[in-house]
A and B are shown apart, each in its own frame.
Chain A
Amino acid sequence: MDAASAASSSIKGVMENVEQPHVLAVDDSLIDRKLIEQLLINSSCKVTTAENGRRALEFLGLGDDQSNTLEGRVSKVNLIITDYCMPGMTGYELLKRIKESSVMKEVPVVIVSSENVPTRINKCLEEGAQMFMLKPLKQSDVKKLRCHLMNS
């Protein structure tokens, strides 16, 4: 076994003692949702996908017609990964809504995009995004994220 796979199997070993992180993945592309879902499952995460920002907010209990009940006080998810370019609500707008929420603002948000636009990246990081990653995501990107989660 080479060094890289030895490291990944020890990470998996530690993960067995840690609760399965629950990740919400938001992307308007069905193909990309399937991909990110499988990448996350392979990293021992529990995954919920949403096809747009509105559905994502509803899932998080932050929908426009939802009231902040006591049940909403604890975040259901450990990480949110969202595509930047989405019709309706962009990933940036979703990020802002999440950061405005007293319940959700501590949840790390990762923005992904197929385009490497520095102003876009800075805007997201300034608004509180944990990380910005380029699409298409690879298994090594998700492993990096997973390590990040374990340290937080």
Chain B
Amino acid sequence: MEVGQMQRRLIEYTKSLFMEGILDDQFLQLQQLQDESNPDFVVEVVSLFFQDAEKLLNDITRALDQQSVDFTKVDAHVHQLKGSSASVGAQRVKNGCIAFRNFCEEQNVDGSLRCLQQIKQEYYHVKNKLEALFRLEQQIVAAGGSVPMMELSF
């Protein structure tokens, strides 16, 4: 595949992630912060998000598994996950966290467990999508092309 085709494919792929609500405007903000002096910014921040999210999902799972669930703790973890997902533009994960906090307030274990499942699914979904996006970018760069900038209006 030649570079132009790869670039178009990347743009279409990225657009689809926005259309499906998997990513939101904050991801564009991240991309705009990346430049020649800072070429790996997006991958770095997203990698931090992956690490943070996986740790938090484990912490939440463990906390919900206790005989007597400490919802203050669970809520604190969910708050953190909400923050980091919001910061990278992982919209569905963020929205899952917002819903989760309601169950925490109600001290609802079943609701929380269901929500956790949902968030895990959304997390792995966005992780797969972003990893595929980064692979597409790498292929373009390896072929000697430059990664096209997403435009804000589409």
A-side residues, CB < 8 A to B, are 29-32, 34-35, 38-39, 42, 85, 114, 135-136, 138-139
For A141, give the chain B residue with the smallest CB separation: B29
CB within 8 Å of A: which B62-118 residues: 79-80, 82-84, 86-88
Contacts of A42 in B (CB 8 A): 33
B-side residues, CB < 8 A to A, are 26, 29-30, 32-33, 38, 41, 44-45, 48-49, 52, 79-80, 82-84, 86-88
Whether A38 and B48, one on each chain, are in contact in the complex, defined by CB atoms closer than 8 angstroms, is no
For B48, give the chain A residue with the smallest CB separation: A31
Whether A135 and B29, one on each chain, are in contact in the complex, defined by CB atoms closer than 8 angstroms, is no
For A41, give the chain B residue with the smallest CB separation: B38
For A35, give the chain B residue with the smallest CB separation: B87
Whether B83 and A29, one on each chain, are in contact in the complex, defined by CB atoms closer than 8 angstroms, is yes
| A34-B29 in contact given A85-B79, A135-B83 (Cβ < 8 Å) | no
Whether A114 and B82, one on each chain, are in contact in the complex, defined by CB atoms closer than 8 angstroms, is yes
- Rounded to whole angstroms, the CA-CA distance of A64 and B41 in the bound complex is 36
Which of B32, B45, B84, B87 sits near A139, CB closer than 8 Å? Answer: B32
Whether A29 and B33, one on each chain, are in contact in the complex, defined by CB atoms closer than 8 angstroms, is no
